[in-house]
Chain A
Amino acid sequence: GESVGLHLPTLSVQEGDNSIINCAYSNSASDYFIWYKQESGKGPQFIIDIRSNMDKRQGQRVTVLLNKTVKHLSLQIAATQPGDSAVYFCAENIVAGAGSYQLTFGKGTKLSVIP
C-alpha cells in the first residue's frame, strides 16, 4: 500500500544552525500535508501545513517545501534552539470518502539540538 515515510530517523544539529527534516510520500492523491512536533510525554502539536497547489510555505522560523515531482516534503527550522528538540512527523491528508479525510503519518524523525 502507499505510505508516508522519512529519510532520516535521527538528526543532531548544533544550536543556532538550520535543521532540515525530510519526508517522502507515495500517494499521488494526497493534496494536503502537515508537519507535527512531538515533545517527550506530549501529544503531537501542529507546526505548519501546505496544500498541494503550493511549493513553499513559511511560518515563524519554519518553512515547508513541497516537491510534487519527486513526492518529497521537507521541514526547515531556522536557527535551531534547544526547545526544538523533539520528534517531527509529516502527515499526508487523503480523501477517505465524501467530505471526509484521513491523516497518514510518517514514522518520525528525532531532532536533537546540541547546545
Chain B
Amino acid sequence: DADVTQTPRNRITKTGKRIMLECSQTKGHDRMYWYRQDPGLGLRLIYYSFDVKDINKGEISDGYSVSRQAQAKFSLSLESAIPNQTALYFCATSDASRREQFFGPGTRLTVL
C-alpha cells in the first residue's frame, strides 16, 4: 500500500550493529504496528502504538525498541543486531474505528 512506506527496503548488516527501520504513513491513522515475518511462522507482532504517547510490547519484543516520533512515523530499532533477527519486517497502520490493518511493503533485513 503506497500510503504506508518503509525505509530501507533491503539492508544487510553485521552482528552487533545498531539498525533503525523507519515507517511513515499518510493514511491519518492513529495506530501503528511492527511485525516480523519468518518462513513458516507467519507474522508476529513486535510492538504497537495507539498514539504518539502510547507504546506497547507485542509477542516478540525482546531485542527491539521503537519510537513514535509523530502520528505518521513509527521506527523500529535493533540496538545490537544478531543473526536470528534476519527476517522480513512489516509496518502496519489502522484506524481506531476499524480493526483492518494496512501494511507497508516490508524491509528485508539480513544480519551476518
- CB pair B102–A107 under 8 Å, yes or no, is no
Select the stretch in B37-45, B63-71, B72-80 that faces chain A: B37-45
- Chain A 32-56 per-residue mask, 1 if CB under 8 angstroms from chain B, else 0: 1010100001111110010000000
Q: A98 CB to closest chain B CB, in angstroms? A: 11
- CB pair A43–B104 under 8 Å, yes or no, is yes
B 1-55 contacts with A by CB, 8 A: 1, 4, 40-45, 48, 50
Smallest Cβ-Cβ distance to A43: which chain B residue: B103
Partner of B43, one of A44, A100, A101: A44
Check A102/B41 contact, CB under 8 A, given A43-B103, A45-B103: no
CA distance A67 to B103 in the complex (A): 27
Partner of B41, one of A49, A93, A103, A107: A107
- Chain B 82-105 per-residue mask, 1 if CB under 8 angstroms from chain A, else 0: 000000001010001001111111
Interface residues of B (CB under 8 A from A): 1, 4, 40-45, 48, 50, 56, 58, 90, 92, 96, 99-106
Given contacts A43-B4, A89-B42, A102-B58, 14 further A-B contacts (CB under 8 A): A34-B100, A41-B106, A42-B105, A43-B1, A43-B90, A43-B105, A44-B90, A44-B103, A46-B100, A49-B99, A91-B43, A103-B99, A106-B42, A108-B42
Interface residues of A (CB under 8 A from B): 32, 34, 36, 41-46, 49, 89, 91, 93, 99-103, 105-108
